[in-house]
Structure 1
Amino acid sequence: MNQRQLNALQTRESIFKVALELFIQNGFENVSITDITQKAGTAKGTFYTHFKSKDQVIVEHFKGIDRYYEEVLEKLTDEGSNYEKIITILREGFLYTENIGKELLKVVLINQISGNEEIPYVMDKTRRIYRIVLKLIVDGQKSGEFVPDRDPDELVMAILQHYSGIYMRWCLLEENETLSELGIKSLKMLIDSFKA
């Protein structure tokens, strides 16, 4: 990577971090591109070189989470059931989000339900988390671990809709449990119903 590419990458990362910081402080709708570029010390054109819109900053955040899901999957051995692998990956997603914090999660969720995208990124079937869970469900159906007569896409959508709902509940309610404790308990009840 040459110096110019390195500088561009650093500028993009700076804009990204500043935007997320402002979204958390002021709310997504109350932050303009001008606010972001002024605080980042860049021009508006520079923002648009790296991001098409404020919404894309939020999508980039989700892409980071998806990369993390893949890292977790790569660390899992071939041992263990597909059920255990799904639970482990989704638990790690909860822990990742706990570390980021509830305020940023609220910004992300508000953005995703705002209707600015035809298919919100959190529910897009091209996401890595969708493909990972689909593969584990299909493998589990082939091995006899999960019911074979159910459409694997429907099972994945049920899991991920439930998963998204847990995030929403954690944001809206003051829970005594952590996101991972609350989420895994609930997800296990759902996924148990898919077992053969």
Structure 2
Amino acid sequence: MTKREQQRIETRNKIYEISFQLFLEKGFDKVTVQMIVQKANLSVGAFYHHFQSKEAIIDERYRDFDEVLEEKYHLEKPKQGLESIYYLVYKQNEACFEMGYELTSVLFKNQIGIHHSYMFNTDRFLVKELKKNVDIMNNGKIETDIIVEELLRITRGTIYDWCLHDGNYDLFEQAKICVNMCLLYFGLIEGQS
């Protein structure tokens, strides 16, 4: 890697990290590009060279999550089907837990106003793997896409609720309960007596 390429990566990372510091401190809506570049000691042009907008920084966080998830998934190789579904949901919750409810709230709050967010991209690794693994378990009565969308809605809702409660309950346990209810409803697992 050349020195110029290294500098480009460092500048991008600096903008990324400082942006999230400011989003957490001041709230996404109150942070301007000017505030980010001032704190990073960079020009506005440098910001726009790396990111199209503040929203693009949020989307980048989701892309980073998917890259790490894909790497871990292929490394840890959970069993296809139910185990993989639990694994994918667990890793999604783990990423939020590690960020903390405050920063997760910033991410979720920002997504409400964006219509073409990466979060909802069906080509994301998380979505594709959920589809593949739900399809393995699905008896074909209901379209896999419908089941996956419900799973994603439930997991987003659980994370959102966890944020509303200031992270004051076990996100992992609650997510598993909600995922199980969804899978039970669609007949992918059987109820426990």
Per the alignment, residue 101 of structure 1 pairs with 100
| Residue identity matched to 1:54 | K
Question: Which position in structure 2 is the counterpart of 1:188?
Answer: 180
- Find the partner of 1:130 among 124, 127, 134: 127
**Alpha-carbon distance in 1 for matches of 2:180, 2:36:** 41
CA–CA distance in structure 1, aligned partners of residues 77 and 35 of structure 2: 46
Say whether the 8 Å CA contact 1:76–1:85 is kept in structure 2.
no
> Does residue 10 in structure 1 map to residue 7 in structure 2?
no
CA contact (8 A) 2:111 2:117 kept: yes
Structure 2: tracts of 5 or more residues without a match: none
Distance 1:174 1:30 in 2: 21
Of 166, 171, 190 in structure 2, the residue corresponding to residue 179 of structure 1 is 171
TM-score by length of 2: 0.91
Q: TM-score, normalised by structure 1?
A: 0.89
Counterpart of 2:152 in structure 1 is 160
Superposed displacement of residue 175, structure 1 = 5.8
Unaligned runs of 5+ in 1: none
Written as runs of structure 1 = structure 2, the 5 A alignment for 1:87-98 is 87-98=86-97
- What is the aligned-residue identity percentage? 27
In structure 2, C-alpha distance between the alignment counterparts of 1:92 and 1:132, rounded to whole Å: 13
Q: Note if 1:74 corresponds to 2:74.
A: yes
State the partner residue of 1:53: 53
Residue 27 of structure 1 aligns to which amino acid in structure 2? G
Conserved 8 A contact 1:162-1:187 = yes
8 Å CA contact 1:87–1:188 kept in 2: the answer is no
Amino acid at match of 1:96: A
**Structure 1 66/174 Cα, relative in aligned 2: closer, same or farther at 3 Å?**
same
Report deviation, 1:81: 4.6
Give the count of matched residue pairs. Answer: 188
User: Which stretches of structure 1, 4 residues or longer, exceed 3 Å deviation after superposition?
Assistant: none
- Paired residue secondary structure (2:140): coil
Q: Read off the aligned partner of 1:180 and give its amino acid letter.
A: F
Aligned-CA RMSD value: 1.6
Q: Relative to structure 1, is the Cα distance of residues 185 and 52 closer, same or farther in structure 2, using a 3 angstrom cutoff?
A: same
CA distance in 2, matches of 1:43, 1:157: 41
Deviation string for 1:12-64 (max 9, x for gaps)? 00000000000000000100001000101100000000000000000001111
> What is the SS of the residue equivalent to 2:139?
coil
Question: Aligned partners of 2:76, 2:180: CA distance in 1, in Å?
Answer: 19
Structure 2 CA distance for aligned equivalents of residues 170 and 82 of structure 1: 26
For the 8 Å contact 2:27–2:106, the answer to whether it is kept is: yes
